[in-house]
Structure formats: C-alpha cells, structure tokens
C-alpha cells in the first residue's frame, strides 16, 4: 500500500484549515446562507427572482472562537451568488474614503458610478469637516450613497471588530440600514465582535438590533470538535484512527483556536513519522508543541489582563467562581467587583466585567457566568501558585 505523501499542512501555522474553522457551525452557516440567497438576483440556476431583505445577523465570541472565519465564509457565499461584498474592520467616521462608503462605491464600477453625485458628495464633505481635524475626516451623506449603490446591485455588509467602532457613526449607518430594510432593498448585514459588542450596539440605541439573529460562539460540542479535527485529514486522504482522534479531541477542549493548534501539530508529527495513518504515537509526539502553543495563547491573554490593570479583578472572579461551584449570577460578580471601589463602583465594575468577557477570561451564559477559555483558569492558578511558592493542593485550599 502506497503511503500518502506529504502535502502542505491543511491547518496552517496560524489556523487556516477551512474545514476545521467551520465545523460545528451548521446553524450559523445555514442562517448566513439563507440571508445571502434571499437578496441574490438569481436562484443559483439562472432564474431571476425578487430579492428579499433579511434581518441582521450578529456573531459574538471571545478571541479565537471563529467569528472572522464565518465572515470569510459569508464573503465567499456572497460572491458565488453575484452579491457585492463590503468588508469593514474599522469605522472611526463615515468619511467618503472610509471602508464602508468607499466599499459601497467600489461595487458600482468606475463607469457605473454617477460622478456628478461624487462631486456633490465631495463638496458636501468639505462643508461638514469638523473644526481642527485633518483633511479626510469628513462625513459623507451615507443615505445617498446607499440609495444609488443598492439600486444597482445586491450588497452584503460584513462588519468585523464592531466594539472598536465610533458609536455615533455606527448609529447613523444602522439607522440608514433600517430604513432601507423596510423598503426591501437587496442587502444583508453581518456584525461580529467580542462580547463588548452588546454594549456597543446598545449604545447606538437603534431598535433594529433588537430584531437581529444572535449567535454566541464559544466551544464546540464533542462531535463537532472531532469533525473539525478529522475533516482536514480526511480531505487530504489521511485516515485518523479512532483512539488518536479521541486523544486529539481531549487536547483541544472543543475550542476552535486549540483545534487548529492540535491539528497543526499532529499533522507535523504524523508527516515526520511517515506513517500511513495517524495513530496515538503521532498525537503523543505532538504534545509538547501543543502545550507550548496553548501556553503562548494564554500568555497573550494574561499579558493583556496585566496591561489593562485587571489582575486583581481576574483573580477575584476566579475565587468567586471557585467558591460557588464554577457558576455564579452575572450581577453577583459585578456587585462583588463594585464593592472594592470607594466611588463610582457600579460603572467601573461593569467596565471590568466586559473587559474580562472580551478577553475570554470568563463567559456569560444566559445570566450566569462561568470560567472562560478552556484551561485559562488552571494556567493562571499555576502561575499564582508559582509566584507564591505554593503546591497545587495548597493553592486550591487557600482559594476556598
């Protein structure tokens, strides 16, 4: 039997395996696909149809949970259906040369765009320039641009890293979008971001967001995690033995970023060994690399916790969860943090709570809070004990 010869690692050094990134996200992909097909001018078989606008879709999750992968899948689906895609990763304003407005204009094509309107927009901008701000920081009449562009071509608006947007600019865009949704313009809207996206969108005070479809992304179910690990191997004609797959799944903890790490390291170990199939020896040989990469991931988060001045609050959240069986009511954590401040404690505590959520240190499920990214609490606990010179048992006992 000929051995499958070495192909490029399908997982990639930074987690690039499409099959792994999208495994277990069937509900999200189905909703995205439905929204995009609804605004397409063709049914995919050459028959024309009347587009139907859909409500926005929101993707929330901590770092490494797969938000950007889903937006990339949406982009490909849209392009396959002849839909113009506008990808936005920042929105400091609504300038004519910003990602949103210029992206919509780009869908028109140089010949199609009404340049007399373009000139009017440029003149309008100069009148709206903020005093003391540099050239280019203007506000374009977004409603005019949207009207012209959407009448020409169905458009998918993919907004990533939403918590970093200017709230007033985002509000203006969402209000314009809402009006066009009522008029059934052919457009779809996807918004993605860390859990802070809740507050960002609430601050816009646009009712449209109350009607959006929301997906909270975190860990995958066990079957989906095994599929995410196995499928890239399978697509390359490489069989993973059942016991090896189970061991890989136990090392990935169902977290998308760790699935990428485990898949990448096991592939490298298997390729180096030159076996026909992936077995337990290959997975065992990848353990050191997996551990090192996971620790680097944890170190990055811990570094951001330290930089943000959140160390004591993170430790406090760990202790509170530990004392309450690993799950507490959201308001219990917020009130407990607020109690440590002499004044303005409630506002500061809510800010801290969302910062810890954004980093994936804790997760919110319904109105409860639990430990976040798998293994992160244990990593922090080991570091705390190491600094204090405690053994594992002593560290746990003191926290209780």
Where in the chain are the domains? 25-216, 308-399
* Across 307-324, average pLDDT: 91
What confidence category does residue 105 fall into, taking pLDDT thresholds of 50, 70 and 90?
A: confident
The fold of the 25-216 domain, in CATH, is Rossmann fold (3.40.50)
Query: Could you give the CA distance from residue 173 to residue 259 in angstroms, rounded to a whole number?
Result: 36
Tokens in use for 251?
Answer: 């090392």
Q: Is the pLDDT of residue 307 over 50?
A: yes
Q: Is the pLDDT of residue 132 over 80?
A: no
Say what the pLDDT of residue 116 is. 58
Say what the pLDDT of residue 20 is. 59
Q: Which pLDDT tens digit goes with each residue over 170-197?
A: 999 999 899 888 888 889 999 999 999 9
Alpha helix (H) residue ranges in the chain: 18-22, 26-39, 67-80, 99-106, 115-128, 142-152, 167-182, 197-204, 222-235, 242-252, 256-273, 280-285, 287-307, 311-323, 330-338, 345-358, 376-388, 392-399
Ranking 18-27, 33-42, 148-157 by mean pLDDT, the lowest is 18-27
Q: Is 148 exposed, middle or buried (0-12, 13-18, 19+ CB in 10 A)?
A: middle
- Quick count: other Cβ atoms within 10 Å of Cβ 206? 17
What confidence category does residue 136 fall into, taking pLDDT thresholds of 50, 70 and 90?
A: very low
Domain 308-399 sits in CATH at 1.10.10
Alpha helix (H) residue ranges in 214-343: 222-235, 242-252, 256-273, 280-285, 287-307, 311-323, 330-338
DSSP code at position 107: T
What confidence category does residue 8 fall into, taking pLDDT thresholds of 50, 70 and 90?
A: confident
* Across 125-148, average pLDDT: 56
Q: Is the pLDDT of residue 51 over 50?
A: yes
What confidence category does residue 25 fall into, taking pLDDT thresholds of 50, 70 and 90?
A: confident
Ranking 61-70, 90-99, 136-145, 194-203 by mean pLDDT, the lowest is 136-145
* Across 89-99, average pLDDT: 87
* Across 114-129, average pLDDT: 55
Q: Is the pLDDT of residue 47 over 70?
A: no
Torsion over CA: 298, 87, 219, 367 (sign)? positive
What confidence category does residue 334 fall into, taking pLDDT thresholds of 50, 70 and 90?
A: very high
Q: Which pLDDT tens digit goes with each residue over 252-305?
A: 999 988 999 999 999 999 999 999 999 999 999 999 999 999 999 999 999 999
Tell me the range of 12-21, 141-150, 283-292, 314-323 where mean pLDDT is highest. Answer: 283-292
Strands 155-159 and 84-88: parallel
Say what the pLDDT of residue 191 is. 97
Say what the pLDDT of residue 240 is. 96
Say what the pLDDT of residue 112 is. 52
What confidence category does residue 393 fall into, taking pLDDT thresholds of 50, 70 and 90?
A: very low
What confidence category does residue 394 fall into, taking pLDDT thresholds of 50, 70 and 90?
A: very low
């Amino acid at each position: 039997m000929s051995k499958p010869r070495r192909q490029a690692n399908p997982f990639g050094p930074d987690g690039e395996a499409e099959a792994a990134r999208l495994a277990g996200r069937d509900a999200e992909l189905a909703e995205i696909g439905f929204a995009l097909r609804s605004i397409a001018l063709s049914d995919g078989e050459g028959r024309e149809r009347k587009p139907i606008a859909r409500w926005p879709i929101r993707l929330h999750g901590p770092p490494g949970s797969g938000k950007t992968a889903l937006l990339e899948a949406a982009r490909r689906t849209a392009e396959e259906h002849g839909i113009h895609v506008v990808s936005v990763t920042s929105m400091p304003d609504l300038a004519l040369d910003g990602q949103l407005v210029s992206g919509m204009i780009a869908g028109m094509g140089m010949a199609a765009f009404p340049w007399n309107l373009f000139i009017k927009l440029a003149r309008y901008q100069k009148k709206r320039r903020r005093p003391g701000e540099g050239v280019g920081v203007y506000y374009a009449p977004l409603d005019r641009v949207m009207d012209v562009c959407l009448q020409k071509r169905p458009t998918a608006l993919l907004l990533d890293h939403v918590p970093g947007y200017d709230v007033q600019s985002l509000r203006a865009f969402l209000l314009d979008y809402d009006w066009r949704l009522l008029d059934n313009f052919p457009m779809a809207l996807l918004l993605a971001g860390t859990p802070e996206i809740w507050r960002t969108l609430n601050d816009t005070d646009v009712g449209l967001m109350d009607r959006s479809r929301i997906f909270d992304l975190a860990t995958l179910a066990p079957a989906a995690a095994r599929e995410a690990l196995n499928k890239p191997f399978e697509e390359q004609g490489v069989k993973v033995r059942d016991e090896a797959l189970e061991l890989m799944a136990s090392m990935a903890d169902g977290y998308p970023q760790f699935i990428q790490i485990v898949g990448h390291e096991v592939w490298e170990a298997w390729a180096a060994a030159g076996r026909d199939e992936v077995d337990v020896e290959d997975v065992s040989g990848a353990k050191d690399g997996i551990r090192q990469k996971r620790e680097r991931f944890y170190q990055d988060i811990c570094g951001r916790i330290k930089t943000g001045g959140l160390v004591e609050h993170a430790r406090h959240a760990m202790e509170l969860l530990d004392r309450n069986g690993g799950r507490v009511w959201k308001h219990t954590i917020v009130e407990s943090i607020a109690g440590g401040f002499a004044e303005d404690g409630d506002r500061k505590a809510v800010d801290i709570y969302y910062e810890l959520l954004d980093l994936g240190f804790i997760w919110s499920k319904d109105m409860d809070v639990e430990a976040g990214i798998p293994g992160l609490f244990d990593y922090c606990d080991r570091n705390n004990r190491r600094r204090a010179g405690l053994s594992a048992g002593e560290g746990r006992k003191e926290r209780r």
